[in-house]
Amino acid sequence: MSGTALITGITGQDGAYLAKLLLDKGYQVHGMMRRSSTETLERIADIRDEITIHQGDLLDQLSLVRLLEQIEPTEVYNLAAQSFVPTSWSQPILTAETTGLGVTRVLEAIRQVNPNIKMYQASSSEMFGKVQETPQTEATPFYPRSPYGVAKVYGYWITINYRESYNLFASNGILFNHESPLRGLEFVTRKITDGVARIKLGLQKELLLGNLDAKRDWGFAGDFVNAMWLMLQANEPGDFVVATGEQHSVREFCEIAFSTVGLNLDDHVGIDPRFYRPAEVETLLGNPAKAKTELGWEPQVTFEQLVTMMVEQDLKRVEREIKLGN
Ligand code: NAP
Ligand code: F7E
């Protein structure tokens, strides 16, 4: 029998993919979103009638307690966060409150309302930061390089602490970068594929980026949310690296994206120091062996397929916008 799931961060990239996955598995899916003066439901518009949306906020303990009492979920996926690394320097306190302390609020609500609820915490490869070994595994020491990374380290350890203190079924997924056509436009992959589409369709000439030499282990969000679900179906809670085991630079991502539409990146990409970071994470490469062995998880979409999928979707979207006169 499938259960009842509550997803915090349902309006985000991963929230949308996870909600679809859980619906396909027969779950009753509830999503928490914060109050906003405008609609933020575009990513889940196609499943809006199949899920139940509730207002709540990771900054507001009582809203979390009330939702758990009302929904009675069997599983909680804590995906909500201030997730954009550069914003964590301009809003470090908000980032700590949401991305860090927000995790304690969710854990505390679970402990108080029903300690049998299973919880997934969206931990991040940004915790490895200035990497202490390559590839990174569950045993690699953390060295975060941004207020975001520091907040995620806090979230990671408080999840383990509640597991050990109160015997909660709470697991950390240490997810490496994962992307999709639903990725936010400010993240580098989507910024590139949106830029490529606009340049190809004559709406802009140049794409300004920061550090082209940064290397990431990029996977497809649709594959990665499956690992989240698998973690909560395991016999025991634990902590798992979720990655492809393959690394590419921002420049390589650009090369493939531009060549998909028959353009050359050297003709269109400029460097703007505004997009450099005060402390950079130069390289990330994960070893997903534990997830493969213990969860049977493996990524399905290759790097080239991911880049092509994102470029094609952005081309279609920008074409639609042009037709509608936006
Ligand atoms: P995302 O698209 O930025 O979504 C973040 C979600 O959190 C949005 O729904 C946002 O709501 C919500 N949120 C922000 N502050 C909130 C608050 N105070 N209360 C309630 N909700 C709040 O992020 P994502 O890419 O889907 O990532 C999901 C999670 O995985 C995040 O925790 C992220 O840090 C983590 N992560 C992501 C990656 C990756 O590569 N994508 C890798 C490792 C870990 P609004 O729509 O209102 O802004
Ligand atoms: O940057 C470089 C930038 O912003 C990737 C989040 O989901 O993944 C994400 O964090 C790299 C960095 O993602 C631009 O300096 C160059 O080295 O796409 P990003 P991120 O910082 O790796 C982790 C795992 C998370 O947990 C986070 O929530 O690309 N880069 N030029 C640029 N980055 C941006 N954004 N914009 C540029 O113009």
Note down pLDDT in tens along the chain; length 326 residues: 689 999 999 999 999 999 999 999 999 999 999 999 998 999 999 999 999 999 999 999 999 999 999 999 999 999 999 999 999 999 999 999 999 999 999 999 999 999 999 999 999 999 999 999 999 999 999 999 999 999 999 999 999 999 999 999 999 999 999 999 999 999 999 999 999 999 999 999 999 999 999 999 999 999 999 999 999 999 999 999 999 999 999 999 999 999 999 999 999 999 999 999 999 999 999 999 999 999 999 999 999 999 999 999 999 999 999 999 86
What pLDDT is stored for residue 39 in this prediction?
A: 85
Closest CA to 288 of 169, 156, 174: 174
Q: Which residues are catalytic?
A: 124, 126, 148
Amino acid at the residue 164: E
Report d(CA 96, CA 146) in Å as an integer: 11
Other residues' Cβ atoms within 10 Å of the Cβ of residue 250: 21
What pLDDT is stored for residue 23 in this prediction?
A: 98
Point out the ligand 1 atom lying closest to the alpha carbon of residue 58. Answer: 19
CB 14 within 8 A of CB 79: yes
What pLDDT is stored for residue 231 in this prediction?
A: 98
Report d(CA 312, CA 294) in Å as an integer: 35
Q: Atom 38 (ligand 2): residue with closest C-alpha?
A: 209
What pLDDT is stored for residue 1 in this prediction?
A: 60
Which residues does a 6 A CB cutoff place in the pocket of ligand 2? 83, 85, 124-126, 176-177, 186-189, 191, 209-211, 214, 216, 250, 275, 277, 280-281
Point out the ligand 1 atom lying closest to the alpha carbon of residue 34. Answer: 20
Structural domains in the chain, sorted by start: 4-178+219-242 (3.40.50.720), 185-216+247-280+302-324 (3.90.25.10)
Report d(CA 91, CA 247) in Å as an integer: 30
| Nearest-10 crossing angle of helices 188-200, 250-260 | 30
First-last CA distance in the chain: 46
Report d(CA 145, CA 34) in Å as an integer: 28
Please give the distance, rounded to the nearest whole angstrom, from the Cα atom of residue 114 to the centre of ligand 2.
37
Query: CA 26 → CA 1, 107, 210, 228, 308, distances in Å?
Result: 8, 25, 43, 16, 31
Instruction: Choose the residue to mutate in 89, 91, 128, 177 for probing ligand 2, maximizing ligand atoms within 8 Å of C-beta.
Output: 177
Point out the ligand 2 atom lying closest to the alpha carbon of residue 277. Answer: 15
At which residue do the structure tokens 């569950």 appear?
A: 138
For every residue of 22-56, DSSP letters joined together read HHHTT-EEEEEE---SS---GGGGGGGGGSEEEE-
95 within ligand 1 shell (Cβ under 6 A)? no
